[in-house]
Amino acid sequence: MENKKSKKKFRGIENPYSGYLFIAPQLLLFLVFIIYPVFEGFRMSFFRASYHGEQFIGLDNYKQLMADPVFLKSILNTVIFVIAIVFLTIIFGLFVATAVYDKSAKYISFIRGSFYLPVMVSMVVMSMIWNFLLNPANGLISYLLGNMGAENVNLLGSKTWVMPVIIFVTFVGNVGQSIILYIASMIGIPEDYFEAAQIDGATRWQRIHKILIPLVRPTTLYLTVINIIAVLKIFVVIQLLTGGGPNNASVTMMYYLYQNAFVYNNTGVAAAVGVIMFVIALLLSVPQFKAFGKER
Amino acid sequence: MKRRNKVMMSALALTTSVLLLGACGKGENKKSATGKDQEAITLEMWLTPQWKGVLDDKEEKADYDSFFKEAAKRYEEKNPNVHVNVQVIPGEQRADKLSVAVQTKELPDMFFDSSFALSEYAHMGVLAPLDDIIDEKSQKDIPKSIWENVQINDKTYFYPFAHNPGTLSYNAEMFKEAGLEKYMAPEYEIANWSSDDLKVISKKLKETNQEVAPFGLFAKNNQGDTWNMSYLRMFGNQFFDKDGKINVNDETGVKALEFLDDMRKDGLTTKGVETLSSNDVNAMFQNKQTAINFTNSVLFNGIKSDMASGKVAPFDMRLANIPGKDQPVSFTYVTSSVVFDSGDEARIKAAKDFVKFYSTDKELVKASKNALPVRDSVATEFAEDMPYLKAYQDNSENIINFSNNTPGYVELRNAFFPELQAVYTGEKTAQEALNSFAENGNRIIDENTKKSVILN
């Protein structure tokens, strides 16, 4: 009797292992395409690879990186990009979402659609359009600035302006996602809070400051972490707009990694950059989780 | 029992499919024309776009792969056990595609491109030397200066097919408008200017037409950097010393870069040099926004052809050399074939045989007229049809081996243009930028020399 019961238990959906079966395909993909490459990247960073084999060189790839001023510049640039773009995306996303969340559904849809449009456009296409606009010889922006009396304006060729321009271009392509998520999150907040606040005579700013912003913190956390990781991998804009120039003023870690992996065939060095990026992403993300986790 | 049968059947089906798939691979047996069993070989050939059509772009359905498909067809008729797949790779994807192929050990058997772009693969030890397929007749038919471009350490890694000399081109109509006739060479000849002439010409052009940038300068990326590197040789610099180290930061190199930067500051070049690519500048030349441009024989013929077809508004376009101190600076891209060392002797042998076939076949080598033939025999045959041929041939004594076939040349190119940008944005002086390039470049050469399989 006992035996029959346990046999039956292992046949149906109540089988304790059936859950594992459901997640098995995803787990397999995760192991093959995420976990394995991470470990393989760590391993490769200690080797010098050639067509004829690999040679263990310890920390030489890392030492080579640290001695290269272009790589150090790429770290600094990447950190500036991450901080600026994440900050702008969160602030502007919050600003737009808090301004429209309680308006009519049609209005919200229009705002959402308008800001989300650039997210749907391929970054390659966006970069090509910006390239045309900013071309110093025959670009539209240079032409208009020239007509206004500003001669020889070359924003992408200026060490001072190249970073703000790339930050702006990336921000425009990114911000739609944060607006969508913030609006969705704000619409989901129970009406009771706002009614209570209204009875207490709270101003709109107080409602935003005391109710909305604290209650959408999980979304802020999600957006912060996702954007940190996305901006760390910024590549297409750099490749198409500046090629890391002028004089490496806009080179990023991902661009540096790509150059080493696919142009110079320095796979070991590229893997070492990947490992450093992984560590930076961790370092930047962990405090976010900790800070938001504590208060929840 | 039933379940066991099912499992057995599935295993059998799987094994059969695997075996069948295996049989479809590269080792299939085929009967040759002589009836003898020979192992069938499928070769992969990659190329970057060079010319359209087999011999001419006016042929029906002319495309970049037409020549090699025709060559493969003719070769397969004589060698039925060999099949050649031809794939055109965009030039800007060459490095990526080959890098992935190297890492995954999935290299093609052959590649057709400019030799300098593939020299790093020779240093990596993945190219098979081709000396065993070069006969005495070919050796005599192709000039020594071309052979020097395709050899490293006295071994030939690139089988030369055509070459593509790099010079300047100028809009002769703009010259005439500015009263600069004395600096123009007759049509079908290459003008020679000194660096002072270039400055005088540019100033006069600017005075005559403020809307036109006299000299098309660019430094956005490594595109067309052979011209930028050649400009630095204007006052006699050699770029590399006799030990293969960079010496462009000496007095002559610095003077040349200062000369270019002064031209830029005086408004005699394109604006925003640091973010202009050679493609941008080439388009500007065609749109009559610049007067003097970089060019090579394929680009030059392409613009001529576009003028004839109405794509580009026609103008009188002529050739000039890059100024030099004692003699003009000229270089050439040797378009050639390489065979990758796949480790499979039969495949390497077949690939070499195919390369030899189209590089020596009397009919097929005529396609080299799309650039310039490396073979004297072909050049003589087409002398009447190619009006610039004599001028280019006379100019061959000025040709330099611009890359020195140095290990790490790709990395070197990428270290070069940021320094130019630093000068053109006023961040560094010419001396500082070239010192920095020499230091960085010599480190790159040292590291890659250590890694070079054929130099160690």
Rounded mean pLDDT of B353-358? 96
CA dist., res. B247 & res. B237, Å (int): 8
Q: Is the pLDDT of residue B35 over 50?
A: no
N- to C-terminal Cα distance for chain B?
64
Q: What is the pLDDT of residues A192-236, one digit of tens each?
A: 888 999 898 888 889 888 999 999 998 998 899 889 888 988 899
Chain A residues within 8 A of B105 when measuring between CB atoms: 51
Q: What is the pLDDT of residues B419-434, one digit of tens each?
A: 999 999 999 999 999 9
Closest approach of A209 to chain B, Cα-based (Å): 45
pTM comes to 0.81
Q: What is the pLDDT of residues B147-162, one digit of tens each?
A: 988 999 889 999 999 9
Contact B419 A242 (CB under 8 A): no
Rounded mean pLDDT of A16-45? 91
Q: Is the pLDDT of residue B329 over 60?
A: yes
Q: CA nearest A146 in B: which residue?
A: B271
Q: Is the pLDDT of residue A289 over 90?
A: no
Residue-level length of chain B: 456
- B439 reaches A (C-beta below 8 A): no
**Which tokens sit at B163?**
């070459």
pLDDT at B386: 86
pLDDT at B28: 45
Number of Cβ pairs closer than 8 Å across A and B? 101
User: What is the SS3 assignment for A178?
Assistant: helix
Of B100, B102, B427, the CB nearest to A247: B427
Whether ipTM > 0.85 holds is no
Q: CA nearest B95 in A: which residue?
A: A263
* Cβ proximity of A166 and A77 under 8 Å: no
Contact A136 B102 (CB under 8 A): no
CA dist., res. B241 & res. B237, Å (int): 9
pLDDT at A132: 87
Least trusted range by pLDDT, from B34-48, B189-203, B289-303: B34-48
**Cα–Cα distance list, B95 to A263, B40, B141, B337, B411 (Å):** 5, 30, 32, 16, 11
Top residue of B275, B278, B456 to mutate, by most chain A CBs within 10 Å, is B275
Closest approach of B379 to chain A, Cα-based (Å): 36
Kindly give the pairing relationship between strand B372-373 and strand B290-296.
unpaired
Give the CA count within 13 Å in the CB-facing half-sphere of B247.
Answer: 13
Rounded mean pLDDT of B439-454? 89
Of A134, A247, A263, the CB nearest to B410: A263
Rounded mean pLDDT of A40-51? 89
The alpha carbon of residue A160 and the mean position of all alpha carbons in its chain are separated, in whole angstroms, by: 23
Q: What is the pLDDT of residues A144-163, one digit of tens each?
A: 888 888 777 788 888 889 99
* Cβ proximity of B99 and A263 under 8 Å: yes
- B288 reaches A (C-beta below 8 A): no
Rounded mean pLDDT of B18-38? 45
* pLDDT-based confidence at residue A262 (cuts at 50, 70, 90): confident
C-alpha torsion angle, residues B392, B396, B402, B404 (rounded to 10): 150
* pLDDT-based confidence at residue A19 (cuts at 50, 70, 90): confident
Contact B124 A50 (CB under 8 A): yes
Contact B425 A243 (CB under 8 A): no
Top residue of B118, B274, B341, B448 to mutate, by most chain A CBs within 10 Å, is B274
Contact B275 A50 (CB under 8 A): no
Residue B296, φ and ψ in degrees, nearest 5: -130, 175
Contact A142 B272 (CB under 8 A): yes
The alpha carbon of residue A103 and the mean position of all alpha carbons in its chain are separated, in whole angstroms, by: 29
Peptide bond before B214: cis, by omega within 30 degrees of 0? no
Chain A residues within 8 A of B126 when measuring between CB atoms: 51
Rounded mean pLDDT of A225-252? 89
- B137-143 long-range Cβ contacts below 8 angstroms, 24+ apart: B138/B359, B138/B360, B138/B375, B141/B375, B141/B376, B141/B377, B142/B374, B142/B375, B142/B376, B143/B374, B143/B376, B143/B396
pLDDT at A8: 57
Chain B residues within 8 A of A49 when measuring between CB atoms: 103
* Residue spans of alpha helices (H) in chain A: 2-9, 18-30, 36-44, 60-66, 69-100, 105-120, 123-134, 140-147, 162-187, 191-199, 204-207, 213-215, 217-232, 236-237, 253-258, 267-295
Contacting B with CB below 8 Å, chain A residues are: 48-52, 134-138, 142, 152, 154, 156-159, 242-248, 259, 261-265, 267
* pLDDT-based confidence at residue A292 (cuts at 50, 70, 90): low
Rounded mean pLDDT of A60-83? 92
Q: What is the pLDDT of residues B359-381, one digit of tens each?
A: 999 999 999 988 899 999 999 99
Instruction: Please name the residues between 77 and 116 in chain B that touch chain A, using a CB distance below 8 Å.
Output: 95-96, 99-100, 102-103, 105
User: What is the SS3 assignment for B310?
Assistant: coil
Of A49, A137, A242, the CB nearest to B272: A137
Chain B residues within 8 A of A243 when measuring between CB atoms: 220-221, 417
Rounded mean pLDDT of A103-129? 89
* pLDDT-based confidence at residue B394 (cuts at 50, 70, 90): confident
CA dist., res. A248 & res. A76, Å (int): 11
Residue-level length of chain A: 296
- B427 reaches A (C-beta below 8 A): yes
pLDDT at B23: 40
Rounded mean pLDDT of A258-270? 89
N- to C-terminal Cα distance for chain A?
49
Least trusted range by pLDDT, from A31-40, A62-71, B23-32, B420-429: B23-32
Question: Which helix H or strand E contains B181, and what residues bound it?
Answer: none
Q: Is the pLDDT of residue B30 over 50?
A: no
- Averaged pLDDT score across all residues of chain B: 88
pLDDT at A73: 94
- B26-34 long-range Cβ contacts below 8 angstroms, 24+ apart: B26/B347, B30/B80, B30/B81, B31/B80, B32/B79, B32/B80, B32/B81, B33/B80
Rounded-to-5 percentages of helix, strand, coil across chain B = 50, 15, 35
The structure tokens 């602030």 sit at A91
Give which of B442, B415, B299, B400 is closest to A259, Cα–Cα: B415
pLDDT at B360: 95
pLDDT at B27: 44
Rounded mean pLDDT of B315-327? 94
Chain B residues within 8 A of A263 when measuring between CB atoms: 95-96, 99, 410-411, 414
Q: Is the pLDDT of residue A188 over 70?
A: yes
